[in-house]
Every structure is written in C-alpha cells, then in structure tokens.
C-alpha cells in the first residue's frame, strides 16, 4: 500500500493520514486525530500508537501536532505573534521541562539552499543563555533556561553525518532535551510555509528536504528529541501526480475516461518521468518569495521556542536583561 | 490559438515554436529555424520576420539565439569556458559594435528572490571600464570598450518602473548599446539553467520571472537593446499542464480514455486550479541547488559579455591591467 | 588653517567646529550653534551662514542637525524608537513637504564594504509607495506620500558617477525632494554609530567614506537635497593624530616635553606616515560588531524617514494597508 | 616585562619577537629565527623551545611559520596560486600525514563579524571527502585524504565554548589531525591580510580576534592541532601606542622632549584611554575593502589546505572526479 503514494512525498503526518484515508476510505486503526480551529488557524493532533499504524502511515509512533495558518504567507505581525504564542504553549506542553533543564536547539539543513535553510536561520535567532547562567539576575533564574544552539551544516558541506556531529556534542554538553528544526516537504502547495509540525518522535532517517541519513532520536542520542518542522517545498513530482489524481477523482472529468480508476502505478510513474525527465528528485516547487517567507517563518519558529524556553523574558525589553 | 498554451508559459522563442508546431503540425510562415550542435551543446537560431508570425508566436519580431548545454548543470570549468566563448562570439556578431562604443549592461530582476537574481548577480561581475578610459594604456585601447553596469532593482523595491530608471540613465549617459540580462521562465524543466537566449529585440512588457511592465526596447530607449536571458524556473502550472498533455499524447495511455483529444481548455484550467489552488502564478519549480546554479550561470553570462566587450583583456592576468 | 587638521578628517559639522574653536580659542563668526539635551541624547544645531565661515569650517553653508545618542550602540528597542521619532520630526521640520509631494530616497555607498553600506541598507528598508498611489484608500491619502528609493552603487561597481545616475533618474521621475543617505567618517570614535547628521546642504564632492566626486545638491539636481549621514568609521590616521594631540594638550604630560606646542605639521605627518605606512587612506577604525550596528542604525534611519514621509501609517499593522 | 607591550596586542610570534628584541636589544634565549625570501614574499620560521622563552614571548612553545606577501592585498591570481602552493608545502611538511589519515578542519570565528569570518569562510571552501571515500576511484585513493570540516560558531551564537563542541566531535569522529583556521590581530597594519601564520601549537585560550576561552590543543583534544591564522585587524589601541613609540624612538623628534624615554606605562595607558574612550577593546583597524580581502585570503588558505590534503586532485578539472 505504501507504493500507492510513492511519488507523493510528504513529511507531514497530517497529510500522510489524509492520503491514506482517501485510499482506504475508512479510519486507520491506531491513528487518532483531533482538530480544533478558530478564524486564523487549525490545530491538528495526530497520534500514531501501534506498529501497524506506523507501517501504514510511514511515520514513527508518537504525537504530531500541526498548526496551520494560511495567513503566515503574508507579512502580518499580530498573526505571527499569535502563532508564536501557540507554538510556545504546545512545545512547553509536549516536553514538560524542569526549570533548570539544559536544551540544545539544532538547526538542520543547508544554509546555501534557501528552502532548506529554515533550520540554520531559526537556530541563529534562538536566545542562547547557557554561557550566561551565572550572570543572570535572581528574578530571571527559573524563567530563563540554559539554552544552546547549533546549525551543523549538511553532509556535503562537512563530510560528517549530522547525527555524528550532534551525538558528539550531546555526549559532551549533556542536554536534557534536543529540539531539531528542519525544513519539510508537503504534498499540498497550500501548506507550504503556512504549517508548523511539532513531533515528539525526533527526526528519522530520510525525512526532510535534505539528506540526513542517520536519525536524531532518543534511541540514538539518549535524550528526548522534539522535531519542529515547516514545509517549505512540494516535490515537483507531487504536482504531476496530483494532476493525475485530480483528473481521476473528479466526476466532472469522468466523461473523458474509460477506466482511469485502474490506472496502474507503473503508468503513473511513466507519466511523471516523462514530464520531469532525468531530475525527478531535484526539482522543487516553492513560492516565488521563498527567501522572504523563510526569513519570516524562521522568526516565528525561533520566537516560539524562545518563549517556551524562557517564559520570564520581556521580549520588548530584551536588551535590559542581556546587556 | 494562443489560449491553447495559456498556462504553459515560456520566455524562450525556441519553446514557443516547439509548442506551436506541435499544435498546428506544420511550419509557421515567417518563422525560420536553424540548428547546429556538437557533443556538448545545441545552438538554435529562430528568426521571426512577419507580424503574423509575431502574433502566433507571442514573441516580438527579431533574431533569437539559444545556446543549450545540459552540462551547465554541473560544476565543469572547461564547459563553462567554452560556453562563455560561444556567447561572446554570438553577442559580438549580433551587435557589430565599433571599438569606441559605450555599452550599458542592465541586470534586471530582484536580488532578494534567488531565481530572479540572475541579472543583478551577472551585472556585478561585469568588468566596468567607463570610468577608467583615460587610465588605459594605449595597447589596451580598442580592446577594452567603455562599459558601465547597473542593477536597478524591481518596482516593489524602488517604487519606479525599471524602464523609468533606465530611460533616465540612458538619457544622461548616452550609451551606443544596452544589454539587458534577465531570468526567464521555461516550459521544460530540462532547459532550466542549461540554456542561454540572446535576442536583438530588447525586453518586452510582461516577459521574465518578475513583473517589468514597461519595455526596454530600441523604441523606448532610442538605442539598440540586446536581451540576454537564462531560464531559471518553470511555472508550477506548466508541470500540471504538461502532465495532462503527456497523458493525452501518449498512445500507451489511450486505453484509459474515451476522448481526451477534445479535453476542453476550460477543463484543463479547472484541473490546474484544483492542483494549485489560490496561488497559481506564484509557485515556481526550480532545481534544489538553485542558489549555486544561479551563481555559476551568472559567471558564465558575465564572462561572455566581458569577452565580447573587451576582447584584448588577458583574463588570467586581469589584475595587471586594472591595478 | 585648514591644514591644521588635515589628517583629522570629519564629515560632521559639529566636529569641524569643535576642532576649529579649540584651535582659534574663540567663536567663529557666521557659525551659530544651539544645543539641547535629555538623559538619552544631545541635539546640536550648527548653522553656517557666511562664505568665510564656510571656508573656515570646510563645510557648505546651511543647517546641520546632529542627534547624538550613545545608547544606540546597544540593542535597545525603546531608545531606537525614540530616535526614529526625533529624526522624523527634525526631517519633517527641515523640508516642510506638501502632502502630495514625490520624494526620491538615495542610498549612497558600497554594499560590499560593510561600513559604507549604510545607505544601500537603509534605502532597502524605505516603504516605497510611488507605484501604489492609485491603490491607496482615501483615508491614507495625504498621510502616505509618494516615495521611491534607489541604491545606485559606487563608481567602481557601475562605471558611472553616482551623480550621473541620479541626475538621469531625477530628470525622468521629477521628485520634489531628494534625501541622500550616506555613511560618514567621524573624528571621535565615540560618535561612530551613535550620531545622525541631517543637513539641508546636499552632498558635496569628496564627502563620505566612499569616493563620490560629483555632488548631489540643489545646484546639480534642480531640487532640494537633504543629506542624512551617520559616522560609521574613524580614519586610522585620526587615531594617530589624536594621540599626538592628547600628549600635547594634557598638562599632565608637560613634564616630558620641551616644546610640543610647536610640533610642526610636517612632523605630525611624518609620525602618522611612520605608524601607518603606505595605506594611509585605506585603514578605517570600526567597532568590532560593525555588521550588526550598521543593520540596526539603518533600521533607525529608514524608520525615521518612513515616519516623516508617511505620518498616517500604523507601522505595527503595516501589512493591513499594503496587502 | 610583558606589561611593556600590554596594549600592543599581536597574535604573530614573529611580531612578538620583533617587539621583544627591540625592548631588550638582544636575542632571546630559546627563540630561534630563520628567514628566507624572494621578490614576492618572506618566509619566517620562529621556534620557541624553552619555558622561559614561552613566558617572555607570550606564545606557546613550538614552531611558527609566517608567509608574508604584500601583494596579497591586490587581486593577483598568479601570486595567490604561488602562496597556495607554498602554504600546501609548509603544511604538509609540518604534519607529515599518512595517506589514509582523517583530518578535521575547524573554521573558528564569527561569520557575522567580517574580520572574524576568515575561519568559517575558509572552512566552507574545503574539499570535504570523508563521506565519499567509498566512491573514489582507485587512482585517486592515496591522493585524496579523508577530510571533514566545520565552522562551529562562537560562544555568543551557540552558548557553547568552541572547545566543547570540537571535543565532542573529535571524540566521535576520531580524526588524526585537526587544522584550526582563525583570524588574528597584528601589531603592524602592513601585515593585515598579507601574512599567513602556521603553528604546530594549536590554539591557546585568548588568542584571535574573537573570544575563545578554551584551547584547541593536543592536550585538550588528544590529537595534534595545527593553527593556521591570518591577521585581519590591528587593535585601535595599537595604533595609538605605536604613535607614542614612534615619537619616542625617532631621534628627529628628540628636540621636542625632555625625557620621553621614561614615559611611564601608566601614562601611555592614560593617553590611549583618552584617545579611545570607553571601548578600548572593541575598536578595530581594518582595510576599507576588508570584505573582499577576507574572501580572497579565505580562498588562498582553503586552496593551500586542499592541496596539502589532496595532492592528486587536478583542481582545474575537479568536477570530473567529484560528479
């Protein structure tokens, strides 16, 4: 069954479930979904609780929370602030961190590839405090956790797997939690830059826009790992596959077909390969203003993490504490 | 007939002709095509010579030369050097410039949008010499033309149409030729970054990745304008449209359809709108490594212009002349 | 007398006067000075009103206002906001602009040289509106002026004098006012990044960190020109000269000297040339964090201009008007 | 005695020795110096071999090689190539590395502070190969070592000491050698960007432009560490101190003084503090074109390391091996 959407790649548990339920036309055992929304946003909680559900979904067991706000596409300070607050609340609830915990934020991805640069850019906006713990005034202690951050770069830049670097650092620094920020691929273009996914599963091999073969998980690092991702691209092959699906699914087009329902997987692949010759995996669909959008969403992501980690900082007057 | 490919947008005359001949299944009167090739590249010359051909092609009358080299995708110094030389030769032949001419190079596009940044990046690699004319040694005179360059930015950055800015500068500087460098959109993903188009037509309203409403043409500027463009994106809607065309055209898929041959334009649009909701015009398909590729092709474009303008400079020892 | 401070170069009228009065030990006829201050800042108004004063000061006749706030060195949002407001008020008072005026903001300097990049960076933060005039709602009209902006680059990048480019654009766009933003050199290191100078004189040849030989003045452009500058460097030779002056002026060191009072200009030059061999003019003294400081002060400068030009925009909700 | 040059800070062993011998007017026991030169460059070898010499020089025991080439200030491809070759030869001779060694290149410094960005920029130009070892053709094996590289960022960005990060990575990757690239401070402005220092001592606390409190040495990392540095700044206080020294040392100025020879250290400090108030340590003197110069010298440094590590790569056709 996995092969059914073999060229529709998504890193969002929400989308994996959408595709799967469309396919099997029923709920998936072991996958729980909760949704809440207001006029600005939808929050989805997907819980994968059995090995069978993990296999069907192609996503590790655990909790996935997506915050989806179409307005993030536009410069909108109040909405950005609102999403930051929600992200901070959800992240704090997910990790339940003691006040004196040390946290390592890891910005995954390649800073030279704009849609893959979310992790490094967000990591550089983190308020790092681990080196300042002795300088903090007593009233800040407890509201300013010990946070450190690094964007290690990707395999092609360092010659080292990200996991090798992070394992080394975690072994030396011994944080209580790792938060890994990463750019993701979505199946639907309208989720690009508008959706933030939090997962308590860590990062598993093969996820994300870049190639991060080794995982960053509690199993490999020895500490809990939260994965915080934002889809920044849709694979071009997804657009092609989606077009075929649209043709097939809409009754309105039925008159053209004899039997599209049984269009074989192999034929789908043939069509996509025809449309996107040679470079199937390399073509990415992004909004034209991706450079600005990545900058804006990196600020939202970093802002949410900062608030979750340091609830007592008055961010308007951050200079008064730190200088 | 234009409407047939209304969502397959291309800035390449070569592709406009390919689509048109596929449609009408015969040669287009007033459009001449010549092709030559070797193991590394194909050179196509498309000449549009009648108003009727202009209308059918959706491209201004004039000469269009495309140099297509798939190897430009990969870091390959000797091939890059070869393409630079060919570009220099073709550009020099197209403009037939006197030795004491002054040339203004204009880098169009938005430096904040990577796939639109080709023009600004190439402009900054131009060897500008207009301010050094009195310092040049006699043996260089004649082989180093008076060249100046500017990347004016786009309407959203300056509040001025590019054409307003360039008209003002041309009126004051009075160059003999303007060369306008611009990022283009292709219809086929395999032409992205691998193809350079030279045209003696100038830039016409609505061309290019960005929005440049006013033209840069001999009619508006009073001096000849060569347009030098490289496709850096495919519109996402083109991928969707291409998928439909592929389904329809390949006999192998015929068994699925009753009558795809007469799939209406309106239905095509409906499908594309379904796949790419809301943001039809904004989604672009680019290679993942677009940042590096733009940097590399900007160097090839600027190198070709530099050689065409300054044939006597020994580029390996450029420091000996200019410092 | 000009030669006395020939190697102590300053672009601030305030400092030129300080040096001059120290020299002549009396007020300079034709130079009026007013000072006001609060706990955060000092505002100085220097008025040069006679040709003789112009010659002695080495600054064009006109009004110079400096806003000096040592706290600008540190990340401090409320102070930055306060300086923006003061800058907006002073600029508005200096130009007394009708509501329907068109204004061209020019960012002078070289974006590749960090301390010279103030102009380009501030220009890119200007809210440009000239192209949106027809889209503005009636209640905004009058509070949102027609503003356009350009950072033309320097002679070595374009091959054109900045004045040639701006003259061309001004001739075509016909603004009512030009505001030219530029990085300056100070005589005192404590004024670097902490001082903003406004002058109704335009930019005169030879001013600024870079080399802008032609002037941008009402005489050359045909419209009033306000120069808005911030010192970003001290010339290294100024540090050396200052050291000599300090030795000479402080009574405490008198015991070492026979007769430093009559240390000749030529000997001063010899010493400086000894300390800073070969590259006298090229060495600049900057704070270590100059990259961040330039970014911050560019935001203050652009913010002040934006408020002066568009008094009715609610900057917290700027997205609501412009999208 | 250390206090004598307490405000003349240099990271070059060569300059430390120059200042010391000027002071004591004789050779320093335990410090050996060898010099060779041609028309383009001077190579100095300083060997510090006793604890007493280490104390007097303020530099760790070991070998220091400086390659000084004034022409590096100017764009000069053949000279840059020559220096790369010499650097490769000296580095290879210093480390005597087996063919199958693994090497970790560490780019120290802050990429947001241009004069401190040498390390990160050079690190990103390193040809990393550790992840490609299995893909290499047999004829390359032996001539392409296993190289990995990282620019970890500085304490203020990561919240972690550089040494903590590197210790973690070294413990996991287990390289045979670490090469640490760093921006240095010189005492003489003419050595800025023109001098490369190689040392087999590693990096000791407090060296360099930035603040790297923990050392990167064989003692802390367990593997040999080569430090490769280039001076990119002179501290502003050095300029002031140099001015005083020049006054004092040149017989020509003797007529002004009673007794400058015994100008006390405290008085020197007073003068410098007067000239450079409040921000003594923060002001740096750099060439105006520091952004371009750092880029150029980073290419020379990385090129030299690449040649030393991978002697068999044909750099003109590097694409043929790696793609």
Q: What is the pLDDT of residues D113-157, one digit of tens each?
A: 889 999 999 999 999 999 988 777 766 667 889 999 999 999 999
Any C CB within 8 A of A295 CB: no
Q: How much is the pLDDT for C271?
A: 73
CA distances D108 to D105, D211, D248, D287, Å, are 10, 10, 38, 21
Q: What are phi and psi of A183, to 5 degrees?
A: -85, 140
pLDDT in tens, C65-79: 999 999 998 888 899
Chain D residues close to C189, C-beta within 8 Å: 236, 275-277, 279, 283
Q: Are C269 and C7 in contact (CB under 8 A)?
A: yes
Share of chain A above pLDDT 70, in %: 85
The per-residue pLDDT for range A97-115, each reduced to its tens digit, is 998 899 999 999 999 888 9
Interface check C283 vs B, CB under 8 A: no
Which residue of chain D is at minimal alpha-carbon distance from A130? D159
**What was the pLDDT predicted at A246?**
77
Q: In terms of Cα–Cα distance, which of A56, A316, A309, A48 is closest to A175?
A: A309
Radius of gyration of chain B (CA): 21
Tens digits of residue pLDDT in A59-102: 999 999 999 999 998 888 899 999 999 999 999 999 989 988 99
Q: Hey, is D132 helix, strand or coil? A: helix
pLDDT band at D2 (very low <50, low <70, confident <90, very high): very low
- Does B267 reach chain A within 8 Å, measured CB to CB? yes
* C132 contacts in chain B (CB < 8 Å): 159
Q: Alpha-carbon torsion A54, A55, A59, A64, what sign? A: negative
In three-state secondary structure terms, A292 is helix
DSSP string, A210-253: S---S-BSHHHHSS-EEEEEEEEEEEHHHHHHHHHHHHHH-GGG
Residue D318, chain B, CB below 8 Å: the answer is yes
How far from C53 is each of C219, D144, D158, D172, CA to CA, in Å? Answer: 20, 70, 54, 70
Q: Indicate yes or no: CB of D124 within 8 angstroms of CB of A167.
A: no
Interchain CB distance below 8 Å, B239 and A275: yes
Helix residue spans in C96-146 (DSSP H):
118-123
Contact D82/A at CB under 8 A: no
Q: Which of A244, A283, A290 sits opposite B189 (nearest CB)?
A: A283
**Cross-chain Cβ contact B171/C168 below 8 Å:** yes
**Touching check for D75 and chain B: CB below 8 Å?**
yes
- Put simply, the answer to whether A256 touches B259 (Cβ < 8 Å) is yes
Neighbours of chain C (3+ CB pairs under 8 A): A, B, D
Residue C267: pLDDT above 80?
no
Please report, rounded to a whole number, the percentage of residues in chain B having pLDDT higher than 90. 58
Of the partner residues A112, A239, A284, the one whose CB lies closest to the CB of residue B286: A284
Strands B283-287, B225-235: parallel, antiparallel or unpaired by DSSP? antiparallel
pLDDT digits 0-9 by tens, B68-93: 999 998 878 899 999 999 999 999 99
Please, which residues have CB within 8 angstroms of residue D259's CB and are 6 or more apart in sequence? C255, C256
Instruction: Please provide residue A284's backbone torsions phi and psi, each rounded to the nearest 5 degrees.
Output: -125, 145
Query: Distance between CA D195 and CA D187 in Å, rounded?
Result: 12
Domains delineated in chain D: 3-232+286-316 (3.40.50.1450)
pLDDT tens digits, residue range C174-223? 999 999 999 999 988 889 999 999 999 999 875 555 444 579 999 999 99
ipTM of predicted complex: 0.88
Q: Give the three-state DSSP class for D99.
A: coil
Could you tell me the sign of the dihedral formed by the alpha carbons of C244, C246, C247, C248, in that order? positive
Q: Give residues 181 to 240 of A whose Cβ lies within 8 Å of B.
A: 189-190, 209, 234, 236, 239-240
Distance CA A51, CA A62 (A): 11
Which pTM value belongs to this model? 0.88
Distance of CA B152 to the CA centre of its chain: 18
> E strands of B69-214, at which residues?
102-107, 146-150, 177-186, 195-199
Residue C252's CB is within 10 A of a number of other CB atoms, namely: 11
Determine how many CB atoms are found less than 10 A away from the CB of residue D41.
Answer: 21
Better pLDDT: A206 or D90: D90
Partner residue opposite B76 with nearest CB, options D74, D76, D319? D319
For C241, residues 6+ apart whose C-beta sits below 8 A from its C-beta are C5, C7, C8, C268, C272
Contact call for A317 and C78, based on CB within 8 A: yes
List of residues 6+ apart from D19 with CB closer than 8 A:
D4, D5, D8, D10, D187
User: Which residues of chain A make contact with D169, given a CB cutoff of 8 A?
Assistant: 160, 164-165, 168-169
CA distances from B142 to A258, B137, B225, B309 (A): 70, 10, 22, 10
Tell me the per-residue pLDDT of D306-321, one tens digit each, with 9 for 90 and over. Answer: 999 998 877 665 555 4
Here the tokens at position A204 are 């598993």
Nearest to B319 among D77, D316, D319 (CB): D77
- The tens digit of pLDDT for each residue in A117-141 reads 999 999 999 999 999 887 777 666 6
C-beta separation of D121 from D110 below 8 A: no
Contact state of B274 with A240 under an 8 Å Cβ cutoff: no
| E strand spans, A158-314 | 177-186, 195-199, 225-235, 283-287
pLDDT higher than 60, residue C5: no
- Asked if the model's pLDDT at residue B44 lies above 50, the reply is yes
A182 neighbors A228 (Cβ within 8 angstroms): yes
* DSSP one-letter string for D250-302: -GGGGGGBS-GGG--HHHHHHHHHHHS-S-TTTEEEEETTHHHHHHHHHHHHH
Chains with at least 3 CB pairs less than 8 angstroms from chain D? A, B, C
Which of D76, D81, D127, D322 to mutate to probe the B interface, most B CBs <10 Å? D76
């Amino acid at each position: 069954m996995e092969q059914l959407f073999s060229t529709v790649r998504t890193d969002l548990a929400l989308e994996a479930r959408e595709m799967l339920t469309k396919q099997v036309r029923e709920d998936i055992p072991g996958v729980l979904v909760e949704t809440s929304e207001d006029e600005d946003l939808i929050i989805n909680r997907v819980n994968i609780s059995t090995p069978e559900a993990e296999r069907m979904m192609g996503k590790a067991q655990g909790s996935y929370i997506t915050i989806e706000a179409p307005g993030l596409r536009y410069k909108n300070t109040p909405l950005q602030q609102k999403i930051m607050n929600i992200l901070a609340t959800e992240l704090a609830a997910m990790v339940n961190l003691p006040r004196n915990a040390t946290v390592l934020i890891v910005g995954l991805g390649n800073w030279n590839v704009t849609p893959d640069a979310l992790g490094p850019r967000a990591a550089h906006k983190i308020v790092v405090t681990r080196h300042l713990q002795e300088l903090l005034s007593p009233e800040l202690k407890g509201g300013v956790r010990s946070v450190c951050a690094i964007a290690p770069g990707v395999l092609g830049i360092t010659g080292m797997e990200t996991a090798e670097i992070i394992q080394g650092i975690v072994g030396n620094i011994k944080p209580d939690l790792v938060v890994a920020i990463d750019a993701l691929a979505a199946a639907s273009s309208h989720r690009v830059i508008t959706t933030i996914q939090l997962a308590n599963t860590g990062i598993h091999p093969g996820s994300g826009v870049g190639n991060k073969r080794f995982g960053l998980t509690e199993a490999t690092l020895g500490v809990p790992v939260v994965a915080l991702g934002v889809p920044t691209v849709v694979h071009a092959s997804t657009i092609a596959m989606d077009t075929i699906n649209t043709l097939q699914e809409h009754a309105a087009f039925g008159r053209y077909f004899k039997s599209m329902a049984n269009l074989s997987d192999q034929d789908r692949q043939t069509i996509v390969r025809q449309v996107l010759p040679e470079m199937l995996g390399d073509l990415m669909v992004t909004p034209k203003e991706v450079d600005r959008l990545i900058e804006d969403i990196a600020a939202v992501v970093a802002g949410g993490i900062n608030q979750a980690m340091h609830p007592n900082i008055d961010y308007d007057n951050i200079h008064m504490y730190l200088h």
